[in-house]
């Protein structure tokens, strides 16, 4: 079974530039998450999708971050414009959950973003 795929693995941009990350979850997984992990911290949830609907985006800085999952499969996270404090690893995860129930989350390798 293929795992969660993410690209690119690394990205370096100047502040105020735009950047986009892509995630393809495990086939059949209805729920997809984007996390931000700053060095030395645990992953922080940015947004949770169930199929193509947003379940929780309460911690997504909506003035600069956006995310979509148009067909309920792969997803894109965008930052526009980037700030220095956005430097972090962006992790995508998925579960087979379709609502209530306890499931492990499967994580991709992450995209390491450096904003200069």
Distance in Å from the first CA to the final CA of the chain: 37
Of 31, 34, 60, 115, the residue at the interface with other proteins (CB under 8 A) is: 31
Which of 28, 42, 53, 70 touches other proteins (CB under 8 A)?
Answer: 42
Contact region with other proteins (CB under 8 A), list: 14-22, 64-72, 75-83, 106-114: 106-114
Binding mask 45-84 for other proteins (x = CB under 8 A): x--x------xx----------------------------
Q: From the CB of 86, what's the least distance to other proteins, in Å?
A: 19
Please pick, from the candidates 8, 103, 114, 116, the single residue that binds other proteins as defined by CB under 8 A.
Answer: 103
| 58: number of Cβ within 10 Å | 9
Minimum gap (Å) between residue 65 Cβ and other proteins: 18
Residue by residue, DSSP assigns 79-114 as ESS--GGG-EEEEEEEE--SSSS--PPEE---EEEE
């Amino acid at each position: 079974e293929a795992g969660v795929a993410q690209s690119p693995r690394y990205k370096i941009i100047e502040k105020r530039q735009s950047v986009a990350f892509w995630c393809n979850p495990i086939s059949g997984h209805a729920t997809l998450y984007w996390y931000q992990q700053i060095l030395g911290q645990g992953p922080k949830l940015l947004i949770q999708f169930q199929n193509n609907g947003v379940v929780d985006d309460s911690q997504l800085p909506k003035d600069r971050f956006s995310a979509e999952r148009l067909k309920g499969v792969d997803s894109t996270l965008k930052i526009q414009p980037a700030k220095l404090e956005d430097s972090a690893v962006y992790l995508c995860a998925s579960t087979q959950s379709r609502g209530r129930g306890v499931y492990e989350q499967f994580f991709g390798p992450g995209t390491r973003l450096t904003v200069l």
